Structure 1
């Protein structure tokens, strides 16, 4: 899609600080992070959302998840969330399928423990 910002990232028309790329997917840091580590992993092919997936997209979805797993390992994350927002009512802002990798809450820069870490005392 000509006006899709994520398609422009795939075509290198917009810089994105790419963390990982292969023939199928591309991953980069979210420009408005919701967590200390917030990456977006998306297919290079334009698929609007999870609601537009077909059975022939199974390999692409698998690739997104395994790429997220590798990025989480590379970032040293012991725990993380993987999230697909679907449609406007589900919080999707850009109409190009993408997986959010969120984590790093225990990696607060000043070394202070975060509230959820105190629950296991």
Structure 2
């Protein structure tokens, strides 16, 4: 998982809506309020909603309001952004009274992203994932990287 290095700013290095065709990015459309998706929680930078193809009973996505292509664009200076994404995911899970000891959070790795827009998967109960979900959201999957691994790589970049 090579994290990008450098000191470019969020908008310059990660792709804006204009750079990435945001008019067609489904998550940019949700962030702009142009869909009927129910937003469960939001602030100026992030929003959270249910995954349309849940891997477990509680499967939420936390996305950035600004278009960012994927977790591979993250740098050390974006640790606080990812921390806020995790906090929002935890908040929605806690509001739904899930067992917080049975949670998995992470990102899909390109080219295995269904939507090329940074989004954190917050899933619970992780212990009930079927084989297909384990392949897609498992900690040993080639498709998925856990939040702790993302932080490890970000701190090293």
TM-score range, shorter chain: 0.7 to 0.9
Matches within 5 A, 1:23-102: 23-78=44-99, 79-88=102-111, 91-102=112-123
- TM-score of the superposed pair, with normalisation by structure 1: 0.79
| Deviation sequence 1:41-80 (CA, Å, 0-9, x none) | 0111111001112333222111101111111111111121
CA RMSD of aligned residues (A): 1.7
**Deviating runs (4+, > 3 A) in structure 1?**
104-107
**More deviation in 75-84 or 51-60?**
51-60
Larger radius of gyration: 1
Q: CA deviation at 1:106?
A: 7.9
Unaligned runs of 5+ in 2: 1-21, 129-157
Unaligned runs of 5+ in 1: 108-121
Query: Does the 8 Å CA contact 1:36/1:105 hold for their aligned counterparts?
Result: no
Matched, 1:5 2:18: no
**CA separation in 2, counterparts of 1:56 and 1:45?**
16
Q: How many residues align?
A: 105
**CA separation in 2, counterparts of 1:106 and 1:64?**
22
| Deviation sequence 1:12-52 (CA, Å, 0-9, x none) | 11121111011110000011111111100011111100111
**CA separation in 2, counterparts of 1:26 and 1:97?**
11
